[in-house]
Structure 1
Amino acid sequence: MSMLPQVRLDGRVVLVTGGTSGIGEGCALAAAEAGAAAVCITGRDATRGAAVVAKLQTLGTRAHFVAADLADAEATSGIVAQAEAALGIVDGLVNAAGLTDRGTILDTSAALWDRLFAVNARAPFLLTQAMARRLKEAGKPGAVVNVITMSSHGGQPFLTAYSASKGALATLTKNTALGLRPLRIRVNGINMGWADTPGEHVIQQRDGNPQDWLERAEPSQPFGRLLKPRDVAGLATYLLSDASEMMTGALIDFDQNVMGAYT
């Protein structure tokens, strides 16, 4: 008999924000592949939501889509209840949705700052709070995974508000990990590096880079490619599972560059 714990999510009900594409979709599909009993995804695009729900159902899990704009605090506060009404008590949460935009300290507006903090910091706070309250009532353990960024360490000058909002999420991860530990609710974060996602492609195009920006960028990376959704999804699934049951409050630098080391 193997002594190694299995990375499985059997019986779990997992909620994934930003689950209609990119990292969020990858995390949702990985949860289903790991045996989750049900997966709820959120997003603003109902058509894409329906498509991902169909994929999840093909993998044998019950699935549900909640249309919500995470910039809306009231809508965000109601997502966990909607997921529970459709699928049962949520005991796994992946805060994968994120909003990014350019702006330095000199030209970032208050409106941009507020929008990024609403989606990147306030929404994970509200969702974690709602899930934790229900799990406390039910006397059940749970796990939260916050998808953050290497920019939370400080970030590039042209990502002032984005970096600050993700830095807030990194601190929230540790704070809630300690606060929820008595309830056996674990909270961990992934500081992911540069990734190949639909959102990144949009940003590259908006910045005027060529269509083949990815083919140009990947050979210059230490391991020859950018992160893919499947990479982050695999780690998120591990952090949700009992294989990581002794880990909470961890911020994992998931990047091919080493923070603080220079060559």
Structure 2
Amino acid sequence: MQNDQNKNTKAIVTGGAQGIGFATAKQLVAEGCKSIALIGRDKDKGAKAVAELEKDGASALFISADVSDGKAALNAVEQATKKFGVINALCNAAATSARGTLLETTPELFDQIYHTNVLGPIMLMQGVVKGLIDAKQPGSIVNVLSMSGHGGQPFLTAYSSSKAALAATTKNVAHAYRFNKIRCNAVLPGWMDTPNEDVVQKKWHNAPDDWLAKAEAAAPMGQLVKPHQMAHLIAYMLSPNSGVMTGALVDYDQMIIGPNS
């Protein structure tokens, strides 16, 4: 039987050409979504992602934009709406995990992280929510946060802070628009196996080529978080099947906050 829980979904997915974003887009399309806009910076990756989604039966659009630019984020919502009509699902997956301890965090680094991880998602939510309210339609938002939002490692001071800020924003938006039937939830993944994580590990931590194998061998469940697995949860949270679920911050990891602290 065909899975069609997202058959009426018209979605925007940021960071949609790779990693969590693309896995989420693929899952939405597998569940019946026929209209999907991907936002990212790499046009070549975007073109390949669109081609794959269209092969799967969706009408897909790649919007080249840097979400750290608030005006560009709002403009991306306008472009997607012009193409597909009112957008009723948003997944904010794009982020930067640039490193920096408290003592290393410059004003420039702070701005870079907060503009990407907080300002961009807020402006995208603003654009989508405004469209839904004007059209008097329900909708759903999922923000991809991080387990680092609970505190994080010392070398992720500004990043952890930005994810905590977006967690509070998630609950604020959920509370503000529940009577408009606009839901807002978040998922907090732990250490992930993504192409970008390979870049991060080698750039910031001088990791060897076999860092992933070593990390997974030491992990309680023998793997890091896989985007295609988590995408099922995000797609569910975006779909009407998740009912009245709103304001939820769902940890998605094998490390448990609290007992080991």
TM bucket by the smaller chain? over 0.9
Report the count of equivalent residues: 258
Query: Which of 246, 249, 252 matches 2:250?
Result: 252
Moved over 4 A (4+): none
Contact 2:15-2:21 at 8 Å conserved across structures: yes
Query: Which of 196, 212, 226 matches 2:210?
Result: 212
Aligned-partner residue type, residue 233 of structure 1: A
For 2:170 and 2:231, locate their aligned partners in 1 and report how far apart those are by CA, in whole Å.
18
Where does residue 3 of structure 1 map in the other structure? Answer: none
Shift of 1:243: 1.6
**Residues 26-105 of structure 1 mapped to structure 2, 5 A cutoff:** 26-105=23-102
Query: Which of 129, 144, 167 matches 1:147?
Result: 144
Aligned-partner residue type, residue 210 of structure 1: P
For 1:11 and 1:88, locate their aligned partners in 2 and report how far apart those are by CA, in whole Å.
12
* 1:242 to 2:250 alignment: no
For 1:108 and 1:19, locate their aligned partners in 2 and report how far apart those are by CA, in whole Å.
28
Shift of 1:7: 6.8
Shift of 1:140: 0.4
Where does residue 176 of structure 2 map in the other structure? Answer: 179
1:120-155 CA-to-partner distances (Å, cap 9, x unmatched) read: 011111001110001001110000000000000111
1:157-181 CA-to-partner distances (Å, cap 9, x unmatched) read: 1100100001100000000000011
- Give me the TM-score of the superposition, normalised by structure 2: 0.97
What 5-or-longer segments of structure 2 have no aligned partner? none
For 1:216 and 1:102, locate their aligned partners in 2 and report how far apart those are by CA, in whole Å.
22
Contact 2:9-2:239 at 8 Å conserved across structures: no
For 1:149 and 1:231, locate their aligned partners in 2 and report how far apart those are by CA, in whole Å.
16
For 2:8 and 2:236, locate their aligned partners in 1 and report how far apart those are by CA, in whole Å.
15
Contact 1:56-1:63 at 8 Å conserved across structures: yes
Q: Secondary structure at the match of 1:78?
A: helix
Shift of 1:37: 2.0
- Give me the TM-score of the superposition, normalised by structure 1: 0.96
